[in-house]
Structure 1
Amino acid sequence: MYRRGQSCPFSRGITTNNKDIMTLLFVSNAYPEAPGVYLFKDGKQRIIYVGKAKNIRKRLGSYFRPPKLLPLKTRAMMSKAAGVDILCTTTEKEALLLESSLIKKHHPRYNICLRDDKQYVLFKLDAKADFPRLTLTRRVLKDGALYFGPFISSHGARQTLKAVHRLFRLRRCKDTVFRNRIRPCLFHHIGQCLGPCVLDVSKTSYADMVRQVRMFLGGQSRELIAGLKELMQEHSDRMEYEKAAEFRDLLKGVNQTLERQAVVFHDELDRDVIGLVRNSQGTGLSVLFIRQGRLLDSKSYFWPIVEGDAVLESTGGEDNAPAEEEPDVLTELLESFLVQFYGPEQYIPRRIILPVSLDSDSTAEVLTERRGAAVRLTPARGDAEKRLVEMARANAMEAMKQREPDMGNLLAEQLLLPARAGRVEAVDVSHLGGQGVRVGMVVFEDGGPRKDAYRIHAIPELEGTHDDYLALAHWAKRRVAAGPPWPDLLLVDGGRGQLSAVMRALAEAGVEPAWPVASIAKAGRSGGELEDRVFRPGRKNPLPLKPGGKALLFLQHLRDSVHRFTISRQRQSRKKAALESRLTSIPGIGAKTSRILWNHFPDIDAMRKASLEELAALPGLGPDKAGKVYRGLRSEGGGS
């Protein structure tokens, strides 16, 4: 009997890429007939694929067949596999959760991996508050608040939020500001806030506005429109024409917003629809979000087949044609996606329509537990649902077309990398005469920016120095300590010197040569160099990249992005330090008081113009410190 975490190497320690030999050496009864997770490893003991199974023995047996009988991706993975470990679990549901956890931890080369936990944006309305505020969030908490969405485009969500504020005039300020405000905000003056912070706004009238917002965001369009028409008519009958005009304009704005959302179901229920397409280029998947019967938004993914594998480079002959996808492959892919996509802090609808049936209830059990209510995972039923699955599939196909040519594969080819560059990190150093040393890092995944992964590192140990090489070395060691996900390519802004500094630091940290590293140096016009140069370790001369080619343009864009990011953050920190010093230079005023002031005022001028009474009313300040600030800023500015 295998215990949890027991290693089961096949081939008795032999490493070979000949799958016919592997098939002969595979002994099925060496593996348990139990649920669990299996981890394929390559010759360097790196995890290249993680899968889960209801029956480990049966599932592993499906991999050890003649290559021509395997799907293309499985064939590619098996051409690199040299061993397999298993982790036994009590139930299939437990195996599914463990699989998801291991994929997020190790980012295996042949798994579908959602690296961004922040899938989409939702609206949050704290209905328990006396005067609720509508905000945007990416997390669904069990806090009693109401959540509406999702929106894949944060820009689209912000535009809708602006429309809601313009139409319904809810407060925008944070709770701390709301409790301490002494005069109405600008939005009240332009008619976009009722001003409950300081004005006599009844809880009943505000609650009516909140109810209308809930109906608007919740898709109860017919009830909302009927209610607004009734209110408009009531005010008109009472000859309150100005008030009637307000409801007329509100009704018009609501109708214009609702017209942008297509009605696909008249039952006004929430559901997601998933479409899937797989071919020799990779896997495309799209999710349609239907809320209250309306198609609200969609999100598409594309995972290319990993290039550079021997099985993919061979051509011709029927033995090299990819096998038909088996049901096990598709269900395993969908289960892995669902558990990663619908995380514990994501909104999960009551029903998810799939392109195929799943062979167990374990995924539905996981999502039901996360949602706190039943979740049904079913294939399409009826013509309407089948059309939506086909629409999602068409979206997935379009996502595949738009990704060509794949930048990760192009970089791998032209920069002589060992594998596709899916995740590229770029670093740059910025300082002012050796002061305020900052190293910035930007991240691009699959050709696009991952701004939530951008980082800025202060290097206080190097204050007063001008050593960019040492700053990069400090950063490299910090990057190693930060852990995965690791980059498929690290790009350094600079020449051979900067490249060498990073390589030495990585070697000292024990990771070299795990990361491919390159540097990009600007053209030296005085030296007769007309184009930027890209260097790789072990090569004296720069790589012969085509001027104006897509690979070089992408690297230049990446270099410019990290340069702008690092300089802007360095300037921000310098400005913040200068402004804080103006306050802390006042006798008796420290960093804590400075933070209180900055939390309530946009700039020094606003602080200087504030009355003594306004300053004393700030929580945590008090009359004594308020007087010091008042006198200190007035004497500095020459005010009376």
Structure 2
Amino acid sequence: MKPFRAKEYPDCPGTYLMKDERGRVIYVGKAKVLRKRLASYFQEPDRLPRKTRVMMDKVWSIETLCTETEKEAFLLENSLIKKHRPRYNIILRDDKSYVLFKLDKRHPFPRLSMTRRVVQDGSTYFGPFTSAVAARETWKLLNRLFPLRKCKQTTFNNRVRPCLQYNIGRCLGPCVYDIPRQEYQEVVRQVELFLTGRSKELLRRLRADMQAASEDLRFEDAARLRDQIQAVEQTVEQQVAVLPGGKDRDVLGLGRTVGGVALGLLFVRQGQLLDQKSFFWAEEDGTDELGLQEETASAQSTAVEEAQEVLRSFVLQFYSPGRYIPERIVLPFAMEDAVLEDILSERRGGPVRLATAHGPQERKLVSLAETNAVQAGDRARKTVEPPLERLQDRLGLSQLPERIEAVDASHFGGQGMVVGQVVFENGRPHKEAYRIYAFPELEGAADDYAALQGWARRRLRSGPPWPDLIVVDGGKGQLQAVQKGLNEGQEAGLAADSFALAALAKGERRGGELEERVFRPGRKNPVALRPGSAELLLLQHIRDSVHRFVLSRQRRTRRAKGLDSRLEELPGVGPRTAHLLWNHFGTLERMCQATEAELEALPGIGAAKAAQLRRGLASLSPGTPVDHDEQGGNTA
């Protein structure tokens, strides 16, 4: 990169994008004053943290975007990080919302439902639960203990007689019977007490109700309340009280681990530890990404600022619109956060306070969050990075394949030609980057190679971020087609040898296992990867993902064109059998070519049904879908 000249950069708040020699955005940041912030990157190298030094060695250009206010810079930075997913930014890869329980108190007879999104509509929310399985188990318990209505509003309005839930004592039946609102509201109150951890008050109410039922000789009601009390007591034994005061708060812990950042998040609701989640971001260079053990005071000061940026970036991404935000978020260290508090308060619809730990209990929780995160980070490195490192070594790649793009061509007898593309980053799917490329100009051609060449040309035109490795579902022919398309795309300023390529093809079955072969450009023989090795399993997972992705698209097309109905018109073929046949054979032509023995080998299909299917399939025209296999390649 050319020397830094301060006057070339604006003196305003905004964001900056650092790009490498291939034009990929590798870091996005924001600043109150862009010129001042960028100048801090161009100090003497020994005055910078190691991570920053490594990053700056790869920066070839810097683009700046001015904003009116620092708040706008915050929001623009967050948007650009999500769009470009830069290599050196903290990025939430698992950014789905967690499960919450929603109690709609606007209705005279509220219903408890499960949701992943918070809407400011007057409802009360409880959670979050990071595990959907745990949330469902709690949901079952709530349905068993508290007889609230389960039906949605449309069903509630139109029901004329009570449902099964009423008959088994799990609903009071307000949809049909004239239930006193006071009686129903008492059950609502019990649910709120249970979900907010106020078990003592709940048990007191239940015991009083049981005593009253016993005195009134309502022994069935008394027995039901007794069982309810026992279930609540068993649940309470598993709850851990960690803070007094009974307020909701999230506790963050940030720690160092070998080659990355570890962040822990504890969800405390009504003083009890409800759940926890850990995050880890690997740093390939093996550096201490937080940089808090730098040798110079200047480097350490800059590292502290970067640690604060890590925390700000996480908070802004994690507490996105529609996610539950508590009124207090406990941070592991102090930082200027007025703008961030303002943004979170707007998203919550009420005040949000960002503060450091207050008192020994909160400090203990911050330490616990950090410990959990570091341990999770150590486990993550063992399961994610080694396969990538071994894949780099076995395939002879010049750099770690952090971003892998895989492609597969598919069509029906030359009709509906498409190429599916999936993207994996650091060994995990990045589903927002999945794409389907349609090629209407190839209608009737049934040419996978032309489609793959076309994909390569269009991919070059779409621009960065560029992949570190392209995986093709197929053999040498498919690999050469992609390579040819890349060579034809020289106008993008990138030649085919700018990209690492590999094709994964199924070979012969040996010893009961299907041998996989990996082809690389310039090699006559395939690369031998040990069956069951982590690097081969990763490649297979990526190849299978793109295969499933493009097949799912073709299934939708198939349904729209009525191909499913053609199968289901055959004797003995219903939706389940049709789904089984499509999943196994992929195309109608393969089904028609299948022998009775192959059909009988499918689960749930015996000899008689296999013979029936064989006769039915023979009656269909075999010219509908076509699937080319090259060197054992498998495309659909």
Above 0.5 in TM-score?
A: yes
Cα distance 1:349–1:411, how it changes in 2: closer, same or farther (>3 A)?
Answer: farther
Deviations 1:303-347 (A, max 9, x none): 1113499x99xxxxx99xx96863211111111111111112111
Cα distance 1:302–1:427, how it changes in 2: closer, same or farther (>3 A)?
Answer: same
What residue in structure 2 maps to residue 358 of structure 1? 335
What residue in structure 1 maps to residue 585 of structure 2? none
1:122 counterpart = 2:106: no
What residue in structure 1 maps to residue 621 of structure 2? none
1:83 counterpart = 2:61: yes
What residue in structure 1 maps to residue 366 of structure 2? 389
More off after superposition, 300-309 vs 112-121: 300-309
Deviation at 1:401, TM superposition (A): 0.7
Match of 1:493 among 464, 473, 478: 473
For 1:86, give the aligned amino acid: T
For 2:193, give the aligned amino acid: M
Deviation at 1:472, TM superposition (A): 6.1
Mind listing any 5+ residue stretches in structure 2 that lack a counterpart? 290-294, 570-636
In 1, Cα distance between equivalents of 2:333 and 2:533: 42
Any conservation in 1 of the 2:257–2:377 contact (CA below 8 Å)?
Answer: no
Any conservation in 2 of the 1:72–1:280 contact (CA below 8 Å)?
Answer: no
Deviations 1:486-537 (A, max 9, x none): 7654533322233345556677888876875533111224999973112244
Deviations 1:202-253 (A, max 9, x none): 5443333222222222333332222112211211221211101111222222
Any conservation in 2 of the 1:308–1:419 contact (CA below 8 Å)?
Answer: no
What residue in structure 2 maps to residue 635 of structure 1? none
What residue in structure 2 maps to residue 521 of structure 1? 505
Match of 1:378 among 330, 346, 355: 355
Any conservation in 1 of the 2:118–2:322 contact (CA below 8 Å)?
Answer: yes
For 2:537, give the aligned amino acid: L
| Equivalences for residues 80-119 of structure 1 within 5 A | 80-119=58-97
Cα distance 1:564–1:93, how it changes in 2: closer, same or farther (>3 A)?
Answer: closer
Aligned-partner SS, 2:253 = strand
What residue in structure 1 maps to residue 37 of structure 2? 59
1:260 counterpart = 2:232: no
Cα distance 1:389–1:470, how it changes in 2: closer, same or farther (>3 A)?
Answer: same
Aligned-partner SS, 1:326 = helix
Any conservation in 2 of the 1:307–1:409 contact (CA below 8 Å)?
Answer: no
Deviation at 1:174, TM superposition (A): 3.5
1:47 counterpart = 2:25: yes
Deviations 1:357-376 (A, max 9, x none): 11342211211222122211
Match of 1:274 among 221, 239, 252: 252
In 1, Cα distance between equivalents of 2:431 and 2:565: 30
Deviation at 1:62, TM superposition (A): 2.1
Any conservation in 2 of the 1:307–1:419 contact (CA below 8 Å)?
Answer: no
| Equivalences for residues 278-317 of structure 1 within 5 A | 278-279=256-257, 281-307=259-285
Cα distance 1:66–1:153, how it changes in 2: closer, same or farther (>3 A)?
Answer: same
For 1:497, give the aligned amino acid: G
Deviation at 1:136, TM superposition (A): 2.2
What residue in structure 2 maps to residue 401 of structure 1? 378
Any conservation in 1 of the 2:419–2:451 contact (CA below 8 Å)?
Answer: yes
Deviation at 1:293, TM superposition (A): 0.8
Cα distance 1:473–1:217, how it changes in 2: closer, same or farther (>3 A)?
Answer: farther
| Equivalences for residues 423-572 of structure 1 within 5 A | 423-424=403-404, 426=406, 444-448=424-428, 489-502=469-482, 516-525=500-509, 531-560=515-544
Any conservation in 2 of the 1:110–1:306 contact (CA below 8 Å)?
Answer: no
In 1, Cα distance between equivalents of 2:411 and 2:274: 46
Any conservation in 2 of the 1:134–1:170 contact (CA below 8 Å)?
Answer: yes
Aligned-partner SS, 2:120 = coil
Deviation at 1:560, TM superposition (A): 4.3
For 1:499, give the aligned amino acid: L
Deviation at 1:283, TM superposition (A): 0.9
1:346 counterpart = 2:323: yes
Aligned-partner SS, 2:274 = strand
Cα distance 1:523–1:55, how it changes in 2: closer, same or farther (>3 A)?
Answer: same
In 2, Cα distance between equivalents of 1:536 and 1:185: 63
Deviation at 1:187, TM superposition (A): 4.2
Any conservation in 1 of the 2:519–2:525 contact (CA below 8 Å)?
Answer: yes
For 2:353, give the aligned amino acid: R
Cα distance 1:30–1:541, how it changes in 2: closer, same or farther (>3 A)?
Answer: same
| Equivalences for residues 611-622 of structure 1 within 5 A | none
RMSD, aligned CA: 4.2
Deviations 1:156-194 (A, max 9, x none): 112211221122233334334444455554544544444
More off after superposition, 287-296 vs 118-127: 118-127
Any conservation in 1 of the 2:25–2:465 contact (CA below 8 Å)?
Answer: no
**Identical positions, percent:** 53
What residue in structure 2 maps to residue 411 of structure 1? 391
Deviations 1:569-616 (A, max 9, x none): 86798789879969x99xxxxxxxxxxxxxxxxxxxxxxxxxxxxxxx
Aligned-partner SS, 1:262 = coil
Any conservation in 2 of the 1:105–1:484 contact (CA below 8 Å)?
Answer: no
**TM-score between the two structures when normalised by the length of structure 2:** 0.74
What residue in structure 1 maps to residue 123 of structure 2? 145
More off after superposition, 367-376 vs 110-119: 110-119
In 2, Cα distance between equivalents of 1:87 and 1:548: 48
In 1, Cα distance between equivalents of 2:228 and 2:177: 22
In 2, Cα distance between equivalents of 1:287 and 1:176: 39
Any conservation in 1 of the 2:90–2:281 contact (CA below 8 Å)?
Answer: yes
Aligned-partner SS, 1:149 = strand
What residue in structure 2 maps to residue 214 of structure 1? 192
Any conservation in 2 of the 1:412–1:419 contact (CA below 8 Å)?
Answer: yes
More off after superposition, 232-241 vs 444-453: 444-453
What residue in structure 1 maps to residue 218 of structure 2? 240
**TM-score between the two structures when normalised by the length of structure 1:** 0.74
What residue in structure 1 maps to residue 138 of structure 2? 160
Count of residues paired in the alignment: 554
What residue in structure 1 maps to residue 292 of structure 2? none
In 2, Cα distance between equivalents of 1:324 and 1:71: 9
What residue in structure 1 maps to residue 307 of structure 2? 330
For 1:531, give the aligned amino acid: E
In 2, Cα distance between equivalents of 1:277 and 1:456: 40
Mind listing any 5+ residue stretches in structure 1 that lack a counterpart? 1-14, 17-24, 313-317, 586-640
Any conservation in 2 of the 1:104–1:115 contact (CA below 8 Å)?
Answer: no
For 1:272, give the aligned amino acid: D
Any conservation in 1 of the 2:332–2:357 contact (CA below 8 Å)?
Answer: yes
In 1, Cα distance between equivalents of 2:187 and 2:137: 19
For 1:494, give the aligned amino acid: G
More off after superposition, 168-177 vs 444-453: 444-453
Cα distance 1:306–1:404, how it changes in 2: closer, same or farther (>3 A)?
Answer: closer
Deviation at 1:484, TM superposition (A): 8.7
For 1:390, give the aligned amino acid: S
Aligned-partner SS, 1:286 = strand
Cα distance 1:410–1:345, how it changes in 2: closer, same or farther (>3 A)?
Answer: farther
